[in-house]
Amino acid sequence: MNILAKIKTNEDLRSLPAGEIPALCEEIRGFLLDKVSRTGGHLASNLGAVELTVALHRVYDPFRDRILFDVGHQAYVHKILTGRMEGFDELRRMDGLSGFPKPSESDADPFVAGHASDAVSLAMGMARARTLTGENYDVVAVVGDGAMTGGLCFEGLSDAGGSDEPMVVILNDNGMSINESVGGISSMLRRARMKPGYIRFKQGYRKVIKRLPWLYLAAHKVKEKIKNHLLPPNVFDDLGFYYIGPVDGHDEARLEKLLRWARELREPVLLHVVTVKGKGYAPAEELPQLYHGVEPFDPAVGIVNGAADDFSACFGRAAVRLAERDERICAVTAAMESGTGLETFAARFPDRFFELGIAEEHAAAMCAGMARQGMKPVFAVYSTFLQRSYDMLLEDVGLMGLHVVFAVDRAGIVGKDGATHQGTFDVAFLSSVPGMKIYAPASYAELDSMLELALEEETGPTALRYPRGCEGSYREDHSREDATLLKEGGDLTIVCYGILTGAALSAAELLEREGIAADVVKLNRILPLPEETILQSLKKTGKLLTVEDVCRTGSVGSRVLELAAEKGVILSRVRRLDLGDGVVPHGDVPGLRHRLGLDAEGICRAAKELLHEKDQA
Ligand SMILES: Cc1ncc(C[n+]2csc(CCOP(=O)(O)OP(=O)(O)O)c2C)c(N)n1
């Protein structure tokens, strides 16, 4: 680490002799592999973006200029080069360095990032602000070919291309999203990458033009004609961008030159950079999807794939089982095929599997179209990314009362990806969709049979929310009841659902040892609320403790309070254990639950506090 250790400031990096840059890039790769293999994190994307990020930091000043990494999972090198190298020992750990850009961590991070396809819009806003205030800084958006499959990205590109705002969009094209990039945009990029005739022409052209710069303007028009002839129509040109590329994204010196040129053009420029995801670590180059996001592993051995069973895998199995007997069942994903456990479904029913790219809005609307024509679509999607589909949930699915099933994976606290990825808002927004039903499986058995219920017995929009990872101590199956009184006691009512059921039961046992008897009411379905079971218990105890891993607004706890008020059930004491405003930082899931009081100990403590409070009634 001789060179990297010397880079303390952006000035140090800029003044490094060009001859030392390849060695610096190798050191950065070594550092990334060493650290990320210990902590876990996004590996392959960062290995592929080393030269690009170094070039960006030699051309731009990350503290003055605004460099926006789309998604932001590929910003590790940016963190290393902006004074956060030391933090990598605690990457993604509680109170440690975030795995995504975070302005509270550094002024070099202009925005909280984590959801795809927004960087061009953000950059456009910043470019306009610059024009309006007359300030002087450059704006750059780095967007992967995966992120470019998102509709929002094209809204931004359309606006930017039609404006005269100087800005540079760098398309980091590695042919991969988490899995292979899909759709027409990715085919277009593939064709652009594969046009050697044009690249050869451009190389020759560049040599000539270098010697005769006065020829540039006249030659540019001719070049555009030749380019249009040799290349298929380029959507970026058509949108109004000055398109440069495709170029080798691992040739740092060349990237620097092109970035300087792009900056000087003072118009919207799209620089198309071709990189290799996982570059420099053979196993990651070979299987970039496996090394996209990793748990700790031994780099000498590589990832040994002994994936543990989890809710996603269980969902995938159930979907296959049900699709075997009903040809109308289709599975839909927005770029999360492996994450949502749909690999077997995709292989078994290729005609009924639809991977749409990072296109959650399209996915929800597309499912509505399918359902309208008699199919049974299941959209498997992470809770946090389903936020993108809210309007389609309301308009296209809800108002039409269509039978679309939403398999809402990663609901609740997801852990190390942090605030942008926590699934804390789904209960609130799903509850406002007309006609929506929400199931909350707490075990694999419940997920399996609730998916069956959702597909075979429900009719309108139906969601199942389940967490990241494995089932806990609760393994039962009460899917056929709306709510279940799991434990009986007269002192207070604990209302729980989903993965926190185990903790609520353990808390009730801890309370029992102290002579406190709690009713534990488990909701198997949280929308509509199973009113009868809840009211029965509340009438008996008059004291309510709700336990859930969602934001308070629109929570089950809030709805239970409304229910009690409407039905005239007087509660003397109330406590809602939840995630407040829904913003939960990164960290390991058990650690976060402990800190937030959502483990057995915390629930027990809350129950005791509740019982010792003065009566409200
Ligand atoms: C709205 C949204 N949907 C899904 C994701 C999950 N996701 C994170 S990275 C990624 C792939 C991004 O691919 P690309 O932009 O090409 O970057 P690469 O990792 O290939 O460098 C996906 C689908 C997300 N972050 N945001």
- The whole-angstrom separation of Cα 507 and Cα 513 is 10
Q: For 533-562, how does the pLDDT look when each residue is reduced to its tens digit (9 = 90+)?
A: 999 999 999 999 999 999 999 999 999 999
Contact between 311 and 471 under an 8 Å Cβ cutoff? The reply is yes
* Segment (H or E) for 497: strand 492-497
The pLDDT of residue 321: 98
Q: Please give the full DSSP string across 426-443, using - where no structure is assigned.
A: HHHHHHTSTT-EEE---S
Ligand 1 atom closest to the Cα of residue 388 is 1
Coil/strand/helix, residue 321: helix
Residues in the ligand 1 pocket, defined by CB under 6 Å: 45, 48, 71, 73-74, 115-116, 144-147, 172, 174, 176-178, 277, 335, 358, 360, 385, 388
pLDDT, mean of residues 490-511: 98
For ligand 1, atom 4, name the residue with the nearest CA: 358
The pLDDT of residue 209: 65
| Ligand 1 pocket: which of 71, 117, 272, 417 to mutate (most atoms within 8 A of CB) | 71
CA distances from 540 to 242, 489, 518, 533 (A): 71, 9, 11, 11
- The whole-angstrom separation of Cα 33 and Cα 589 is 24
For ligand 1, atom 23, name the residue with the nearest CA: 335
Instruction: Give 345 Cα–ligand 1 centroid separation in angstroms.
Output: 21
pLDDT higher than threshold 90 for residue 230: no
Contact between 116 and 146 under an 8 Å Cβ cutoff? The reply is yes
Q: For 242-287, how does the pLDDT look when each residue is reduced to its tens digit (9 = 90+)?
A: 999 999 999 999 999 999 999 999 999 999 999 999 999 999 999 9
* DSSP code for 461: -
- The whole-angstrom separation of Cα 577 and Cα 597 is 8
Q: For 73-119, how does the pLDDT look when each residue is reduced to its tens digit (9 = 90+)?
A: 999 999 999 999 999 999 999 999 999 999 999 999 999 999 999 99
Ligand 1 atom closest to the Cα of residue 71 is 25
Sign of the C-alpha dihedral, residues 593, 599, 603, 605?
negative
pLDDT, mean of residues 34-59: 98
pLDDT higher than threshold 70 for residue 229: no
Name the packing angle between helices 531-541 and 556-566 (round to 10°). Answer: 70
Coil/strand/helix, residue 244: strand
Instruction: Give 334 Cα–ligand 1 centroid separation in angstroms.
Output: 10
pLDDT, mean of residues 314-341: 98
| Ligand 1 pocket: which of 277, 358, 421 to mutate (most atoms within 8 A of CB) | 358
Q: For 189-216, how does the pLDDT look when each residue is reduced to its tens digit (9 = 90+)?
A: 888 877 655 556 666 666 666 666 566 6
CA distances from 254 to 15, 51, 199, 265, 477 (A): 17, 10, 14, 17, 60
Instruction: Give 312 Cα–ligand 1 centroid separation in angstroms.
Output: 18
- Residue ranges of the alpha helices (H) in 109-215? 119-133, 151-162, 183-193, 196-211
Angle, CA of 224, 227 and 230, to the nearest 5°: 155
Contact between 437 and 404 under an 8 Å Cβ cutoff? The reply is no
Ligand 1 atom closest to the Cα of residue 70 is 15
Catalytic residues: 277, 360, 388
Ligand 1 atom closest to the Cα of residue 292 is 19
- The whole-angstrom separation of Cα 308 and Cα 125 is 43
Ramachandran sector of residue 568 (left: φ over 0; alpha: ψ -120 to 50; beta: rest): left
CA atoms within 13 Å, Cβ hemisphere of 125: 8
| Backbone phi and psi for residue 582, each to the nearest 5 degrees, phi listed first | 85, 0
- The whole-angstrom separation of Cα 7 and Cα 224 is 41
Instruction: Give 116 Cα–ligand 1 centroid separation in angstroms.
Output: 6
Name the packing angle between helices 151-162 and 119-133 (round to 10°). Answer: 30
Instruction: Give 299 Cα–ligand 1 centroid separation in angstroms.
Output: 24
